[in-house]
Structure 1
Amino acid sequence: MRGEGGHMLQAVLRLVAPPDKRDEILRVFSGMSGPTEVTKGCRRCRVLCDVNNDDAIIYWVQWDTREELEDHLRSERFRKLIPYIEMSLEPPEVEISQLDVIGGIEIVVSAIEARHS
């Protein structure tokens, strides 16, 4: 069963790294993304940088179910990230959402073609 109501779940964490720790934090988070992404129920795990703030790091994961997301948050792998999250110069931002995927590139193509019709 997908998240509540059959929706995929997305968790986004944003932190601001101390400039002298940015590369280390990126390395640790990036090293966790591959193993996380092959975990049962994980659809996507990415580590991104904020173009508006070089020191801001975004950890973005999508899960099939809330149970799988919560298992991830309780995992040893995620626990290794907590000391780095606690280094954030600003309060970490966390947003967990339910997603209803309605399509992909076909929607983009359709919208572009409709505009030129």
Structure 2
Amino acid sequence: MKGRLHLKTLSSVVGPTRVLRRCLSCRLYEDLENTNILTLIAEWESRETLDKHVRSDRYRKILAAMDLSLPNKKSNP
């Protein structure tokens, strides 16, 4: 269930990212054996355009989805 939510969240940014100027491609893959494993690959025209994207609100949404997918960590006393 949790994996489906993250797939939906990440899927919602793929299309809008693909149409961004200087985005060469953006693809989301789901592992066939473990559907909780997702891979997002985006290719950019240059390092500068990648850096600009990494600072965008859209990328923050991607990071938030990735952060939510991490297992809860228990701190050691």
Shorter-chain TM-score bucket reads 0.7 to 0.9
- Runs of 4+ in structure 1 off by over 6 angstroms are none
TM-score by length of 1: 0.56
Q: Deviations over 1:8-50 (max 9, x none)?
A: xxxxxxxxxxxx3111111111110111011111011011101
Higher strand proportion, which one?
1
1:35-114 to 2 correspondences below 5 Å? 35-89=16-70
- Which structure's residues are more often helix, by fraction? 2
Aligned residues: 71
Q: Distance in 2 between matches of 1:70 and 1:29?
A: 19
TM-score, normalised by the number of residues in structure 2: 0.82
CA deviation after TM superposition for structure 1 residue 54, in Å = 1.8
Unaligned runs of 5+ in 2: 72-77
Percent identity over the alignment? 34
Question: Aligned-pair distance for 1:53?
Answer: 1.9
Larger Rg: 1
Indicate the residue corresponding to 1:98 in structure 2. Answer: none
